Amino acid sequence: MRFIGNVLRGKLLSVFFPKYKIYSGKLDRMLKSAGYPVQTHLMDSEYIYTDFRNWMKIIKNDVVKYQKYRSDVYDCDNFGVTFAGLVPFIYGINAVGFVTGRIYDEHGLIGYHGWNVFLALKDDGTPELYMYEPQSGMFSTYKAGRIGNWKYEPLFIIWG
């Protein structure tokens, strides 16, 4: 029931979200200007996004973070793919991508991981990229590249 309730709530909320448009070329340049060795695959020519305040509502309403982790069956990549698919379905916002890359802790490389990246309009009127960890609901700016105690290094991003 939580899923259905959150979908309905999200669809209702999204009617009131301000929505902005960015072309794929500009989004690709933003991603690559952060300094990561990232390859991008942008499947659409235009991407719709909203402001940061409304992204916080999307994250608060996110049902993906409540799913049970199951090694190899429903793990980090499944969390990320599910979130990247649900946001456009529920909110009509497609400026969210699925990322694969490496994560590190204070001792070095932990391994490969899947997470999300999204675009939001800041209060000053400029667009900003954020990394989102769909397993925990935590996020940070894309350029900062840290969520909690982990350093994230994106290698490949798919934007649907």
> Each residue of 7-46: pLDDT tens digit?
676 667 677 789 999 999 999 999 989 888 899 999 999 9
Domain assignment of residue 94, given as a range: 2-10+18-159
CATH number of the domain where residue 82 is located = 3.30.460.70
Per the prediction, the chain carries an average pLDDT of 91
Q: Which residues pair with 119 in a beta bridge?
A: 129
**78 has pLDDT over 70:** yes
Place of tokens 């991981």: 113
Cβ-contact 131, 147 below 8 angstroms: yes
β-bridge pairing 39-42 and 150-159: parallel
Number of domains making up the chain? 1
Residue range 128-144: average pLDDT?
95
What pLDDT was estimated at residue 67?
A: 81
Residue 146: which H helix or E strand, with range? Answer: strand 146-147
What pLDDT was estimated at residue 100?
A: 97
Cβ-contact 20, 53 below 8 angstroms: no
Q: How confident is the model at residue 66 (pLDDT cuts 50, 70, 90)?
A: confident
- What percent of the chain clears pLDDT 90, i.e. is strictly above it? 76
